[in-house]
Amino acid sequence: MGVLMVIVGVFVMVLCMCTAVLRWNEMRYRKKGLPPGTMGWPVFGETTEFLKQGPNFMKNQRASRYGSFFKSHILGCPTVVSMDPELNRYILMNEAKGLVPGYPQSMLDILGKCNIAAVHGSTHKQMRGALLALISPTMIRQQLLPKIDEFMRAFLSNWDNQVINIQDRTKEMAFLSSLKQIASAESSSVAEQFMPEFFKLVLGTLSLPIDLPGTNYRRGFQARQNILKILGQLIEKRRDSEESQKDMLGYLMRNDDNNRHKLSDDEIIDQIITILYSGYETVSTTSMMAVKYLHDHPTILEELRKEHMGIRERKRADEPIEWNDLKSMRFTRAVIFETSRLATIVNGVLRKTTQEMELNGYVIPKGWRIYVYTREVNYDPFLYPDPLAFNPWRWMDKGLESQNYFLIFGGGTRQCPGKELGIAEISTFLHYFVTRYRWEEVGGEKLMKFPRVEAPNGLHIRVSSY
């Protein structure tokens, strides 16, 4: 009986201490003019609930109590969450007015201080200019699309009569395709060493910046150090050979007068990591989910296959996809947009205040983050009738792509510069997949939609020739 009383006493004492700590933390942020909301624990805030509950944390537990503009403490920083479409558009279109990128410290540490998501002002202009020069429509047409086509042909060969994890395959596809575009001559030799490090880097970018053994942050940061060595050696090897290569690395390393965006080696490496990272998640996940949605909607698959069979009928068996073929894939583009909308590959973007500022009638302190949460716009029935239906035909009207709240690829000066390159990769992947194969799901694995869209146990399909 005495032991039981001690246990109860300890429990009550711990409960009182926790309540006191929570109350103290709330008092710290109870400043006049701040939006309503809760801040959770010191240091950790509400990050655990945010990552576990995702959309429910935002919509049901917070927005239902505090409205579409509220405060929290997530991913290591006090944060204001905005779910208001008008306000979100204003924030994205007015970055220079007291707002800069506000990505988590873990992402900045692991992707590098020179990555395009971290820099702003003249540095952002320089880095974005260098990136746009690599992925312009002319570069896609003349240099990148032939490499993408060659890669997809080889990658999608010999899948007949196999059970494959399409999640793993699309991850490999997205990484290896980008690596071939970046360093075509060396991609095969460095891929085996590079790929596992890159996957660890990706996991570390969305984690609390706690540098302890076994944490995703520590693994991601160590992976970055290993990747720096790989890319540093690659650059030195290129420089020693004095051979010019017509790939992204070759263009970044140019030292002639035609290169208006000359970068240091550190900037080149961060640019390469950014290209790999930004394209990897969107291309791999959209491709996986397109396969999933097409399997579940045979009529849409048939329409897509009809478009691609029409292209193949106009070409010889070994003739590659060309720019005009890509431009003719209108329904494919619609499938990609609808997949991105319904699966919500990107939930929102982060900004940080450089000065105290007023937004939506509230005062936001300097150094706070603003989470421009765009997920709910994707399910707005006024913008997308029957929003939970997979309906690519809604995108056949080009007006939908240009409407003000189309934020699937970001907005303002930070709209994803690789949008068209990503669409080219997914379109080419789908072209060879649907014209060569039919497939059925095996196992019916669970899908998670937050913080990343993924199948925790994989997404397995049985593939047969078409």
For the chain, the distance separating the N- and C-terminal CA atoms, rounded to the nearest angstrom, is 72
List, edge to edge, every strand of the sheet that includes 369-373.
69-74, 77-82, 369-373, 348-353, 99-101
- Give the whole-angstrom CA distance, residue 330 versus residue 252: 32
CA 107 – CA 436 distance, rounded (Å): 39
- The closest alpha carbon to 198, from 218, 229, 220, 180, belongs to 220
User: SS3 of 250, please?
Assistant: helix
Q: What is the DSSP letter of 344?
A: T
Supply the pLDDT for residue 62: 65
438 neighbors 418 (Cβ within 8 angstroms): no
Q: Are strands 369-373 and 77-82 parallel, antiparallel or unpaired?
A: parallel
pLDDT at 65: 83
* Phi/psi of residue 5, nearest 5 degrees: -65, -40
What's the confidence (pLDDT) of residue 353?
A: 87
* Cβ(106)–Cβ(207) below 8 Å: yes
- The candidate with the shortest Cα–Cα distance to 71, out of 45, 90, 93, 49, is 45
Here the tokens at position 85 are 């479409």
The alpha carbons of the chain give a radius of gyration, in whole angstroms, of 24
Identify the pLDDT of residue 25.
45
* Residue 15 pLDDT: 45
Please list the residues that pair with 359 across neighbouring strands: 362
pTM for the model stands at 0.86
Q: pLDDT by residue for the chain (466 residues), tens digit each?
A: 555 554 544 444 544 454 454 454 445 556 678 888 887 766 677 777 777 777 777 776 666 788 888 888 887 788 888 888 888 888 887 766 778 777 778 888 888 877 776 666 676 677 777 777 888 889 899 999 999 999 999 999 989 999 999 999 999 999 999 999 998 888 888 999 999 999 999 988 877 788 889 899 999 999 999 999 999 999 998 888 877 778 888 888 887 656 666 788 888 898 899 888 888 888 999 999 999 999 999 999 999 999 999 999 998 888 999 999 999 999 999 999 999 999 988 888 888 888 888 888 898 888 888 888 888 888 889 889 999 999 999 999 777 777 766 767 766 555 677 889 999 999 999 999 999 999 999 977 788 887 778 888 999 999 999 8
Do β-strands 77-82 and 162-165 pair in parallel, antiparallel, or remain unpaired?
A: unpaired
* Share in percent of the chain as helix, strand, coil (round to 5): 55, 10, 30
Q: What percent of the chain has pLDDT over 90?
A: 36
Helices (H), 297-389: 298-313, 323-327, 330-343
Contact 80, 35 (CB under 8 A): yes
Tell me the two tokens of residue 35.
Answer: 């939006």
Residue 334 DSSP symbol: H
| Residue 453, CA distances (Å) to 159, 217, 283, 339, 386 in order | 24, 20, 12, 12, 22
Is residue 18 marked as binding?
no
pLDDT value for 310: 95
Q: CATH fold of 31-465, please?
A: Cytochrome p450 (1.10.630)
Q: 162-165 and 460-465: which strand pairing?
A: antiparallel
Q: Residue 423: its pLDDT value, please?
A: 94
